[in-house]
C-alpha cells in the first residue's frame, strides 16, 4: 500500500505566490518597477506624438520630434536611475536602523519596533508573543553593520531602470521611420503605443496576480488620460 508523501504539493495560489516572490528576488528590478518604467516611457512618447500637428509637419519636423522624444526619455531615464540608487540606499539604511534599534532597545520598545516595521495587515494579526519571538530571533543574530553605500545591485537596477525607459521610446517611433506620410505614421504609431500599454499592463497583471486583461485595459485608459492631461497643460 502506498504511503502519502510527507511533503504536500502547494496549492495553485501558493505556487503562484512563490513564483512571484522568486521573480522579485532574482531580478534587478521587481515586476512593478519594470513595467512602470515601460509604461512611463510609452506615455512620454505619446505626449510628443499626440502634440504633433500632422497637417503642418514635414519630414524634418518628424525627425525633430523623434530626437526630442528620445532625448527626453534618456534624460528622464538618467534621473530615474539616480533616484533608484538613492531609494535603494535609503531602504537599506531603514532596515539596518530597525534591526539595530531592536538590538539596543528594552523589551517593550523592541516589540513596538518589530510590530511597526511589519506591513499593516501582518501587524494587525500579530500579538505580543509573536512580536517577542521576532525580537528574540533578530537578537540571536549579530547586530548588523551600518549599510554599505552604492552596491553593484544598485547600479544594475539603475541601468535597467534607465534602459527600459529608453527602449520604450522605440516601438511607437518605428512607423515614423518607415512611412513617409506623417498622418498615416501617426495613426500607426498611436496604435502601437496603445497596444504596448495594454501588453505592459497585461504582463504586470500576470506578474502580480491581478487580472491581466483588466489591468491592461486600465493602463490604456490611464495612459490616454495622462497623455491628454499632459498635452492640455502644455507638457
Q: Which tens digits make up the pLDDT trace of 96-129?
A: 899 999 999 998 999 999 888 888 888 888 888 8
Spell out the alpha helix ranges (H) of the chain: 12-26, 31-51, 59-104, 107-117, 120-124, 128-139, 152-167, 170-178, 182-208, 212-232
Would 15 be classed as within a structural domain? Answer: no
pLDDT band at 66 (very low <50, low <70, confident <90, very high): confident
Would 11 be classed as within a structural domain? Answer: no
Q: Can you read off the three cell numbers belonging to residue 36?
A: 512602470
Q: What is the dihedral angle through the alpha carbons of 97, 101, 103, 104, rounded to the nearest 10 degrees?
A: 130
Would 118 be classed as within a structural domain? Answer: yes
Asked if residue 17 has pLDDT above 90, the reply is no
Would 204 be classed as within a structural domain? Answer: yes
pLDDT band at 5 (very low <50, low <70, confident <90, very high): very low
- Cell 496549492 belongs to 11
Q: Are the beta carbons of 202 and 216 closer than 8 angstroms? A: yes
Would 184 be classed as within a structural domain? Answer: yes
Would 159 be classed as within a structural domain? Answer: yes
The vertex-123 CA angle with 119 and 128, nearest 5°, equals 150
Mean pLDDT taken over the chain:
81
Q: Which of 86, 76, 72 is nearest to 157 (CA)?
A: 86
pLDDT at 127: 84
Sequence-distant (6+) residues with CB within 8 A of 57 are: 65, 182
Asked if residue 191 has pLDDT above 70, the reply is yes
Q: Which of 45, 25, 28, 46 is nearest to 161 (CA)?
A: 28
Cα 40 to chain centroid distance, Å, stands at 10
Number of domains in the chain: 1
Range of the domain at 217: 36-232
In the chain, the largest separation of any two C-alpha atoms, in whole Å, equals 82
Would 224 be classed as within a structural domain? Answer: yes
Of 23-32, 56-65, 136-145, 162-171, give the lowest mean pLDDT range: 23-32
Asked if residue 43 has pLDDT above 70, the reply is yes
Q: What is the pTM of this model?
A: 0.72
Amino acid at each position: 500500500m502506498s504511503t502519502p508523501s510527507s511533503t504536500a504539493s502547494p496549492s495553485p495560489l501558493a505556487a503562484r505566490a512563490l513564483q512571484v516572490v522568486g521573480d522579485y528576488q532574482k531580478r534587478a528590478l521587481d515586476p512593478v518597477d519594470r513595467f512602470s518604467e515601460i509604461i512611463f516611457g510609452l506615455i512620454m512618447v505619446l505626449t510628443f506624438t499626440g502634440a504633433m500637428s500632422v497637417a503642418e509637419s514635414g519630414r524634418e519636423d518628424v525627425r525633430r520630434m523623434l530626437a526630442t522624444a528620445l532625448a527626453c526619455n534618456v534624460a528622464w531615464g538618467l534621473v530615474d536611475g539616480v533616484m533608484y540608487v538613492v531609494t535603494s540606499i535609503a531602504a537599506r539604511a531603514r532596515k539596518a536602523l530597525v534591526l539595530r534599534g531592536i538590538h539596543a532597545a528594552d523589551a517593550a520598545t523592541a516589540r513596538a519596533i518589530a510590530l511597526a516595521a511589519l506591513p499593516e495587515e501582518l501587524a494587525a494579526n500579530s500579538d505580543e508573543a509573536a512580536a517577542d519571538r521576532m525580537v528574540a530571533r533578530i537578537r540571536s543574530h549579530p547586530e548588523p553593520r551600518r549599510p554599505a553605500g552604492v552596491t553593484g545591485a544598485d547600479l544594475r537596477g539603475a541601468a535597467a531602470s534607465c534602459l527600459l525607459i529608453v527602449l520604450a521610446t522605440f516601438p511607437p517611433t518605428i512607423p515614423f521611420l518607415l512611412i513617409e506620410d506623417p498622418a498615416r505614421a501617426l495613426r500607426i504609431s498611436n496604435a502601437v503605443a496603445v497596444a504596448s500599454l495594454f501588453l505592459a499592463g497585461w504582463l504586470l497583471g500576470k506578474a502580480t496576480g491581478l487580472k491581466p486583461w483588466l489591468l491592461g485595459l486600465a493602463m490604456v485608459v490611464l495612459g490616454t488620460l495622462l497623455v491628454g492631461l499632459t498635452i492640455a497643460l502644455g507638457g
